[in-house]
Chains A and B, each alone.
Chain A
Amino acid sequence: GAVVSQHPSRVICKSGTSVKIECRSLDFQATTMFWYRQFPKQSLMLMATSNEGSKATYEQGVEKDKFLINHASLTLSTLTVTSAHPEDSSFYICSARDPGRNTEAFFGQGTRLTVV
């Protein structure tokens, strides 16, 4: 149980275009999902906390107009990187809390974004 699926696993896009990343909880309903960015050989950097049915809470320094987060259902949250630039290239990972195991987080497989 507690499976989180993230798609796509890899994406290459041109500068100026937008990219959508999906995060799904497959066998539980997640009221809260988290989006992280990870640079090579570094830890996870929290970008925003996504709550079902309400606006996401962004961490300081994260542009909410650039990284659009939508959590429209209890099993799906999306992160859209708008007007992508090469410096947005990174590894993006989502996680979700299982209400049945409230203090555990389960991660998606991650998305490697390359902006050319």
Chain B
Amino acid sequence: GQQLNQSPQSMFIQEGEDVSMNCTSSSIFNTWLWYKQDPGEGPVLLIALYKAGELTSNGRLTAQFGITRKDSFLNISASIPSDVGIYFCAGFRGNQFYFGTGTSLTVIP
């Protein structure tokens, strides 16, 4: 199935720094979702976005649904060691979820 372009592929940052990652697609989506996956676990939903232009926060996380409906970004402010993991974006269209290629985040204490 189609995969969304997600960048960066990996990030190594110092604790306390802010993080930004994004997802782009050649197709329009009705919903954008952001997930975090810890090693050996299933992805956990972080934020769901339903409208173009929507900006939503969940604690230190902020995500936006792009105006064109073809992209989304996720920001993490003041990173902490437990933010380590793989972050996936997902778009929903036509009863299907399409996943990004993932961003691996490493936070150095």
Contact = CB atoms under 8 A, between A and B. Distances in A.
Contacts of A45: 1
A103 B48 contact: yes
Contact residues on B (Cβ < 8 Å of other chain), bracket: 20 to 34
Where chain B touches its partner, the secondary structure class is strand
Q: Which of B3, B41, B42 has the most CB of A within 10 A?
A: B42
Contact of B30 (A32, A101, A103): A103
B45 A103 contact: no
A108 B41 CA distance: 8
Given A43-B88, A104-B48, A93 B42 contact: yes
Contact residues on A (Cβ < 8 Å of other chain), bracket: 20 to 34
Nearest to A94: B42
Contact of B88 (A6, A41, A44): A44
Nearest to B89: A43
A32 B96 CA distance: 10
Interface of B: 1, 3, 30-31, 33, 35, 40-45, 48, 50, 88, 90, 92, 95-97, 99-102, 104
Interface of A: 4, 6, 32, 34, 41-46, 49, 59, 91, 93, 95, 101, 103-110, 112
24 contacts: A32-B95, A41-B104, A43-B99, A43-B101, A44-B43, A44-B99, A45-B1, A46-B96, A49-B95, A91-B40, A93-B42, A95-B42, A103-B48, A103-B92, A104-B31, A104-B33, A104-B45, A107-B35, A107-B43, A108-B42, A109-B41, A109-B42, A110-B40, A112-B40
